[in-house]
């Protein structure tokens, strides 16, 4: 682990499994409560100095971290594939994307608002760091989602204790080793451990804010546990994104994009398309084009040349997805492809596409988080919007059409934090991203995301302006 700038082995060990082979590929420390206490104490001790460091220096630190990550991208890519399962090309994209995120975040500024009232009294509202951030990342994008937190938290002047998922701790620990010399000791600490460590972190009295990315069910537990000391929380949670495909779309031009909207990272993306509503005039053509393309996509071990989709990341998720497939079979839903899971080693699930299952079926209503797509027919656009919005989730969504004005009009009616037109999944470090309803609380990215790592402070002064520093 990385605690107070030093490598710490800890007493216990966690086994890490390659999801393509189910073989143990290494071990990571299993932190004790004492290890966590040391990490939090180091972050608290480092906080005043880091908060007082000029923001220009903090920007430079983010760039230096990005440089070292890019310089080690080949090593990091292989390690990420071996513990996460995603193909090498996607793993490299995630590593480079993580560096890009740090650089993009480094361009942001903390706004200061100066006002003068009728009596000549001036006020200055500024944004100060909160303190120690406890950050918890999931296993689907361990590096880039950690950078979503590290970048803005550190730029704003906070220090951090980061906990990666027990399924994917190794690449994050390696990044910690690589950046250890760039930051003052204690500014970034990384602890790894099993199921007990998350709740210890979220209830720790030395943590001032929790930034959590994971499932909605766990997010609720995080918020409950943070309430004990009124910690600030940012929650990036689950989704059940709908795509709405309008009848004027150029089917051949968008078929591949529609496929990848649902199946990239084997469907293990919070903002994957998990339900696709297709207008009845083009339903058959869209269905046939997606299935024809899906048949050309290679599923396999992410370390093998040519693999486009890897296995699911872990047994727990694999069993959840298998249970959804079994339910769809038991209900007699129509499978256009997939559904038969091989009995070979590895958490492999074939690309599975369903033909217009009932709206109230589990495969439509639940977040699958696997390579499954229900195609759903609609006739009336208002009905499609209503069905898209009839969900406890509100993370993302997309509208596909040749008439982009019409698509924008529909996009504005979708109750989700992000809506894309004729694409999906694009995010930017300078743009806010977050969920409505039970998909989350607060945002990451953009100035809005940076402000979520600050407390707001106003200075009033009778007479002249206070300062603009």
Give residues in contact with ligand NAD (CB under 6 A).
136, 138-140, 145, 163, 165-166, 198-199, 202, 213-215, 218, 221-222, 236-239, 270, 367, 369, 395, 435, 440
Contact of 40 with 186, CB cutoff 8 Å: no
How far is residue 9's CA from residue 31's CA, in Å, rounded to a whole number?
A: 9
What are the residues whose beta carbons fall under 8 Å from the beta carbon of 341, sequence distance 6 or more?
A: 322, 325, 348, 349, 350
Neighbours of 282 (CB within 10 A): 17
Q: Nearest distance from residue 321's CB to ligand NAD, in Å?
A: 12
Cβ nearer to ligand NAD, comparing 348 with 433? 433
Q: Nearest distance from residue 176's CB to ligand NAD, in Å?
A: 15
* Residue 466 φ/ψ, nearest 5 degrees: -70, -65
Cβ nearer to ligand NAD, comparing 197 with 451? 197
The set of catalytic residues is 236
Query: Could you write out the DSSP letters of every residue in 37-76?
Result: HHHHHHHHHHHHHHHHS-HHHHHHHHHHHHHHHHHTHHHH
Nearest residue to ligand NAD on Cβ basis:
198
Contact of 187 with 46, CB cutoff 8 Å: yes
Helix (H) or strand (E) holding 341: none
The CA–CA distances, whole Å, from 179 to 19, 61, 65, 173 equal 27, 9, 6, 10
How far is residue 209's CA from residue 212's CA, in Å, rounded to a whole number?
A: 10
Look up residue 202 and give its two tokens: 């979220």
Cβ nearer to ligand NAD, comparing 16 with 401? 16
What are the residues whose beta carbons fall under 8 Å from the beta carbon of 304, sequence distance 6 or more?
A: none
Q: Nearest distance from residue 235's CB to ligand NAD, in Å?
A: 8
Q: Nearest distance from residue 124's CB to ligand NAD, in Å?
A: 33
Cβ nearer to ligand NAD, comparing 157 with 164? 164
Q: Nearest distance from residue 417's CB to ligand NAD, in Å?
A: 8
Q: Are strands 232-236 and 159-163 parallel, antiparallel or unpaired?
A: unpaired
Cβ nearer to ligand NAD, comparing 170 with 251? 170
Cβ nearer to ligand NAD, comparing 99 with 135? 135
Contact of 239 with 427, CB cutoff 8 Å: no
Q: Nearest distance from residue 252's CB to ligand NAD, in Å?
A: 31
């Amino acid at each position: 682990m990385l605690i107070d700038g030093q490598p710490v082995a800890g007493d216990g060990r966690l086994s890490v499994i390659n999801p393509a082979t189910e073989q143990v590929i290494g071990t990571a420390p299993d932190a004790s409560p004492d290890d966590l206490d040391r990490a939090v104490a180091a972050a608290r001790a480092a906080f005043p100095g880091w908060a007082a460091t000029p923001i220009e220096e903090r920007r430079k630190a983010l760039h230096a971290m990005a440089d070292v990550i890019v310089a080690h991208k080949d090593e990091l890519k292989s390690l990420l594939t071996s513990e996460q399962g995603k193909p090498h090309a996607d793993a490299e994209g995630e590593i480079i994307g993580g560096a890009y995120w740090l650089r993009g975040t480094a361009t942001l500024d903390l706004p200061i608002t100066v006002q003068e009232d009728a009596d000549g009294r001036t006020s200055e509202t500024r944004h100060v760091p909160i303190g120690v951030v406890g950050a918890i990342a999931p296993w689907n994008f361990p590096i880039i989602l950690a950078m979503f937190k590290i970048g803005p938290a550190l730029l704003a002047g906070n220090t951090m204790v980061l906990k990666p998922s027990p399924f994917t701790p190794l690449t994050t620990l390696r990044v910690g080793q690589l950046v250890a010399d760039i930051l003052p000791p204690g500014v970034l600490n990384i602890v790894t451990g099993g199921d007990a460590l998350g709740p210890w972190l979220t209830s720790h009295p030395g943590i001032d804010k929790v930034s959590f990315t994971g499932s909605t069910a766990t997010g609720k537990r995080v918020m409950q546990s943070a309430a004990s000391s009124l910690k600030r929380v940012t929650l990036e949670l689950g989704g059940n994104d709908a795509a709405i495909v309008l009848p004027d779309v150029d089917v051949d031009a968008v078929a591949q994009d529609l496929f990848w909207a649902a199946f990239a990272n084997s469907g293990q993306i919070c903002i994957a398309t998990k339900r696709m509503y297709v207008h009845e005039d083009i339903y058959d053509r869209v269905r046939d084009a997606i299935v024809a393309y899906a048949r050309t996509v290679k599923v396999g071990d992410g370390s093998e040349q040519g693999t486009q989709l890897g296995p699911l990341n872990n047994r727990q998720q694999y069993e959840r997805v298998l249970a959804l497939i079994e339910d769809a079979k038991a209900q007699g839903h129509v499978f256009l492809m997939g559904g038969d899971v091989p009995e070979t080693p590895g958490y492999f699930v074939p690309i599975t596409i369903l033909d217009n299952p009932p709206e109230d079926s589990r495969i439509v209503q639940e977040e699958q988080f696997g390579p499954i797509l229900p195609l759903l027919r609609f006739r009336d656009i208002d009905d499609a919007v209503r069905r898209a919005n009839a969900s406890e989730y509100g993370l993302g969504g997309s509208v596909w059409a040749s008439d982009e004005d019409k698509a924008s009009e529909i996009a504005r009616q979708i109750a989700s934090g992000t809506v894309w037109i004729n694409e999906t999944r694009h995010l930017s470090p300078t743009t806010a991203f977050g969920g409505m309803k039970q998909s989350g609380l607060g945002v990451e990215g953009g100035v809005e995301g940076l402000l979520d790592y600050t407390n707001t402070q106003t200075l009033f002064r009778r007479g002249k302006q206070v300062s603009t520093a």
